[in-house]
Amino acid sequence: MTPYETKFGTYQKLITVDESYWAYIPNPLPPSQDFDVKGIHPLLEEATAALKHLDEVCLSLPDINALWDICILKEALMSSKIEGIKPSWEDVLLYGEDEETDNFIEGVKEVACNIEALKHGLKRIKGGFPISSRLLCEVHKILLSNRHGYRLCPGEFRRSQNWIGGPRPSQAVYVPPPPAQVAECMSDLEKFIYKEDAMPALIKAALAHVQFEMIHPFLDGNGRVGRMLINLILNANGLTKSSVLYLSSYFLRYQRQYYAHLEGVQLTGDWEGWIKYFLEGIIQTAEHASETAQDFHNLFEKDVKAIKAAKIRGKSTTAIYEYLKHRPVASLNQIVKGIKSSRQTIINGLRNLERLGIVKKSKVPGLGMVFVYKEHAALLNNL
């Protein structure tokens, strides 16, 4: 069957033994149609300024790494929730690394793998590795490294047809390119991302995300990898040098509009509507992240002063506190393993933090004693 072309892509009819259906192959970026620059430019300036301010706030913090971990946790959780994976952050921190107990908490391993995949991608970018099919396959392999993922070809582009919605391609809401076209589509996307031109990185990130979603190069995990791609592009272009943007929180809050805009690009070529939605999300998320960063800074500063004022002997209490800044809920076994000190020394240090009102403890079946950095947890719950 001869393909038919639209302004925005090509529909190719595929025929199998059981059915026939149309797969969509998007045109290479950039889009051929012009945008209303006047309508986009004010949002672009505001979004760029919001990201610059966020980076300035983060750079002023004495412990950027703690905030980095918080933002990555938030992004991984929200991106997973968009896909219907909904464990709490407490469960992810308590069970995410535990091969024996994570089966009891649905989705925990998936979010833990999402965190590791995003960390890996950002580390590679910081090391100078280019955003490429190879990097996205590395990220995808980590994302699907839980024991249920191997049938979905982790780290490899799909070799069979996938689709979105419906029990089969002929009844689907959307059918992405045939597997034989995936490598070429991804090669075109790579070239667009790294082409040196006057296009602002924020616009490039917005366009690349949608293009990736339309290509849908993997059998599973496309949405999560596609949202990671945004952070990778922002970081590679110096827009988030010392921060991670949890933009998935915005996508989740306005999920209906998120999918409507993705569909609008494919059906009508409404790139402008998507870009405006995207930039508004950047502004809202960056402004919220700046406020959050300051809240955590104020908390850490207050509690460090309280620990110093208590004149506690030994360094274990401070070491435990630093550990809990990055992992605000942890079992006693996790803390002992993380700090590499004797069990009794850790217990003594935790008692000091309890007396100062910084930490509270509880008993969790199967885990024993669990310790929570109270005000840190409250801030995370409000994120």
Domain extents in the chain: 31-292, 310-381
Note the pTM of the prediction, 2 decimals.
Answer: 0.94
Determine the pLDDT at residue 320: 96
Query: Long-range contacts for 330-339 (Cβ within 8 Å, ≥24 apart)?
Result: 330/93, 330/94, 330/370, 330/371, 331/94, 331/364, 331/367, 331/368, 331/369, 331/370, 331/371, 332/368, 332/369, 332/370, 332/371, 333/367, 333/368, 334/94, 334/97, 335/371
Per-residue confidence (pLDDT) for residue 147, from 0 to 100? 56
Residue numbers of the chain with a pLDDT score lower than 50: 102
The pLDDT value given to residue 97 = 65
| Through-space distance between the first and last CA atoms of the chain, rounded to whole angstroms | 51
Q: What are phi and psi of 38, to 5 degrees?
A: -60, -35
Q: What is the pLDDT of residue 79?
A: 97
Give CATH for domain 31-292: 1.10.3290.10
* Range 133-147 burial, b when 16+ CB lie within 10 A, else e: eebbbbbbbbbbbbe
Q: Given 3.40.190.10, 3.40.50.10860, 1.10.1030.10, 1.10.10.10, which CATH number is that of 310-381?
A: 1.10.10.10
In the prediction, which pLDDT does 5 show?
A: 80
| Tens digit of each residue's pLDDT (9 = 90 or more) over 35-89 | 666 679 999 999 999 999 999 999 888 888 888 999 999 999 999 999 999 999 9
Is 211 within 8 Å of 189 (Cβ atoms)?
Answer: yes
Q: How confident is the model at residue 124, as a pLDDT? A: 97
